Amino acid sequence: MTLLRRIQWPADLRWLGHRELIVLAAQVREFLVEAVSRTGGHLGPNLGVVELTIVVHRVFDSPHDPIVWDTGHQAYVHKLFTGRAAGFAHLRQTRGLSGYPSRAESAHDAVENSHASTALAYVDGLAKAFQLKGEHSRIPVAVVGDGALTGGLCWEALNNIGAAEDRPLVVVLNDNKRSYAPTVGGLAAHLAVLRESPAGSQRDASVFEKLGLRYIGPVDGHDFVALERALLMAKQKAGEERGAVLVHCVTVKGRGYPPAEADEADCLHAVGVVDPATGRPAGRPAPTWTSAFGDEMVKVAIERPDVVGVTAAMLRPVGLYEFATKFPDRVLDVGMAEQHAVTSAAGMAMGGLHPVVAIYATFFNRAFDQVLMDVALHRLPVTFVLDRAGVTGEDGPSHHGMWDLSLLNLVPGLRLAAPRDTSTLREELWEAVSDGTGPTVLRFPKAPAGRDLPAVRRTDGLDVLAEHGTNDVLIISAGAMAVECVRAAQLLAAERIGVTVVDPRWVLPVNPAIAELATAYALVVTVEDNTLAGGMGAAVTRLLADLGVTTPVCALGLRPEFLEPGKREVLLARAGLDGERLAQRVVQELENRFGPHPECPAPRRAGEQVEAAL
């Protein structure tokens, strides 16, 4: 690793000869495998862009020439060459190195992107800014994958980039034939034709040329000489002709690491802690919410031939792989195009099907208009399954699924369930696909499935999970927060504070039975792993006010801020959403509103007990 340690900044790369570059690439791959196997992270994408990243930094002058990485998870090599090698010891950990570009970390990170298909729009805007400010020597660079090009925003940007005049920029197309999985659609077929046409050969114009960009390629993305020649040509053309140039680089995801190259499923796209020798998980994988959903979807599909699955380039991550294996004609992968996924599902529902659209909660934000106007306005029976809802973990602020409840609270006629365990998930999935009146949503976290939490009883559609003593506090729990709410109830009961915990099952719209139940309690507490702005707590508060119920509501959830990376349980605790801190907050709320509890000689003891436990 001697050579790698000498490379502290991009300028250091420009002094290396060809043989040294080959040695450096091998050392970078060795470093990545060792580092990512310890912490988890995106391995395959970064192994595939080692040579590409080195040459981009040799040719362009970052940060004078801003480099925008799309989707951003392939920027680890870029981080290595911009002074952050030591940070990989704490990759994707709280207050550690982000797994995506981070403006707070380095001036070399132009944006904090980690949602696909944004880079071209960013560089179009940067090029326009440089043009208007007279900074003609600056050339912004977008490194975008073929998978990201399946997203509609890319084509909105290309439409503007191709027609622009006097705006130099360079697009580096990293074509590895896949995103998480093989790239789909007409674009994939077009790129295949381009890959098979030697550079400089006679062929029909590429779609990029027809849009107005200069096209260079295809280029072997692992050949230093060919890469540098192509990117130097692109830089020269962009500067002299004052326009946009696209360099088509063909790479191999997972390059140089046999376990990744042999993994045809996703080339070890994203891994947890793994054995670096084999790429296999270090421990035995625990059952997950995603796997429970995937298992049940197969059962649903057997009974319901009208049910189809829809995914936005994430067949395996969202749990639809087994469904697709058994019913290949009934699962549609639309590429990284969440908006198209939703409106296409609307069309399928109009045609008599019941689509189940499985998307990460954070990516679901991108299709809100389609949910509102294309599905809900038409009262169409489409089920949305939001994986990774709530506090997600190590992927950081852009991946926490903490906005969906607030956004969906705005949608008329939509019903949203938050299962508390996998048994409830299975039950509510069947309820969702059986609803033909309008859109339904299920949300669940990225976490091990854990044990089931059975209800004490069910009343008016509400599951009562715990009942302790008198009617002092009613805790309403959203989804997987039920475990922490039951724990808090046990702590409060030990201090002779009467608590009832209910799971509304269907969180939105709020069940009117909650209002009637609330009248019997001194305080209502809502708990959700969603931002407090417009979430379940806000909906319950509004319902009680509309119905004239005067019981005060204490809404607990996530502050409206971007959460850092970290383990789910750590971030929940920091937000005050673990059982101990919830109990402490309830005690404080009771004292602030009502003074000492009448049946507890020293009500502060609960808070003190909790504080001591922390």
Which tens digits make up the pLDDT trace of 584-613? 999 999 999 888 766 554 333 333 433 443
Do 196 and 68 sit in the same domain of this protein?
A: yes
In a domain, 332, yes or no: yes
| pLDDT for 41 beyond 50 | yes
| pLDDT for 21 beyond 70 | yes
Bridge partners (DSSP) listed for residue 173:
144, 248
For 433-442, write each residue's pLDDT tens digit: 999 999 999 9
148 appears as a binding residue in the annotation: yes
% of the chain beyond a pLDDT of 90: 80
pLDDT value, residue 608: 43
Domain ranges, residue 295: 289-443
Higher pLDDT, 113 or 106: 106
Higher pLDDT, 536 or 563: 536
| pLDDT for 31 beyond 90 | yes
116 appears as a binding residue in the annotation: yes
For 352-409, write each residue's pLDDT tens digit: 999 999 999 999 999 999 999 999 999 999 999 999 999 988 888 888 999 999 999 9
Domain stops at, among 219, 241, 271: 271
How far is Cα 252 from Cα 195, in angstroms, rounded to an integer?
13
Tokens of 232: 């130097």
In a domain, 279, yes or no: no
Catalytic residues: 253, 338, 366
pLDDT value, residue 394: 86
115 appears as a binding residue in the annotation: yes
Higher pLDDT, 184 or 604: 184
In a domain, 181, yes or no: yes
pLDDT value, residue 1: 63
Domain stops at, among 443, 467, 492: 443
Do 259 and 374 sit in the same domain of this protein?
A: no
pLDDT value, residue 610: 36
In a domain, 603, yes or no: yes
Domain of 533, CATH number, reads 3.40.50.920
Do 329 and 475 sit in the same domain of this protein?
A: no
pLDDT value, residue 202: 72
Do 197 and 330 sit in the same domain of this protein?
A: no
For 229-254, write each residue's pLDDT tens digit: 999 999 999 998 889 999 999 999 98
In a domain, 276, yes or no: no
User: How crowded is the C-beta side of 565, counted as CA atoms within 13 Å?
Assistant: 19
100 appears as a binding residue in the annotation: no
Do 260 and 327 sit in the same domain of this protein?
A: no
Do 16 and 142 sit in the same domain of this protein?
A: yes
Those residues with Cβ within 8 angstroms of residue 268's Cβ, 6 or more apart along the chain or in another chain: 43, 44, 254, 257, 259, 260, 274, 279
Q: Do residues 237 and 61 touch, judged by C-beta distance below 8 A?
A: no
160 appears as a binding residue in the annotation: no
Domain total for the chain? 3
pLDDT value, residue 166: 86
| pLDDT for 264 beyond 80 | no
pLDDT value, residue 438: 97
34-38, 263-267, 399-403, 586-590, range with the lowest pLDDT: 263-267
Domain stops at, among 213, 245, 271: 271
Residue 140: pLDDT band with limits 50, 70, 90 = very high
431 appears as a binding residue in the annotation: no
In a domain, 120, yes or no: yes
% of the chain beyond a pLDDT of 70: 97
Do 502 and 365 sit in the same domain of this protein?
A: no
| pLDDT for 265 beyond 90 | no
503 appears as a binding residue in the annotation: no
φ/ψ of 173, rounded to 5, equals -85, 110
Do 405 and 356 sit in the same domain of this protein?
A: yes
Do 406 and 543 sit in the same domain of this protein?
A: no
In a domain, 28, yes or no: yes
How far is Cα 114 from Cα 71, in angstroms, rounded to an integer?
5
pLDDT value, residue 65: 97
In a domain, 452, yes or no: no
What is the DSSP pairing of strand 169-175 with strand 141-145?
parallel
Tokens of 51: 């040579």
Q: Return the residue matching tokens 């992107």.
A: 113
340-354, 488-502, 596-610, range with the lowest pLDDT: 596-610
Q: Is the torsion defined by CA of 534, 366, 568, 323 positive or negative? A: positive
**What is this structure's pTM?**
0.92
Do 227 and 249 sit in the same domain of this protein?
A: yes
176 appears as a binding residue in the annotation: yes
Do 395 and 465 sit in the same domain of this protein?
A: no
| pLDDT for 575 beyond 90 | yes
Residue 409 DSSP one-character state: T
Domain of 92, CATH number, reads 3.40.50.970
Do 259 and 116 sit in the same domain of this protein?
A: yes
| pLDDT for 300 beyond 90 | yes
Averaged over 506-523, what is the pLDDT? 96
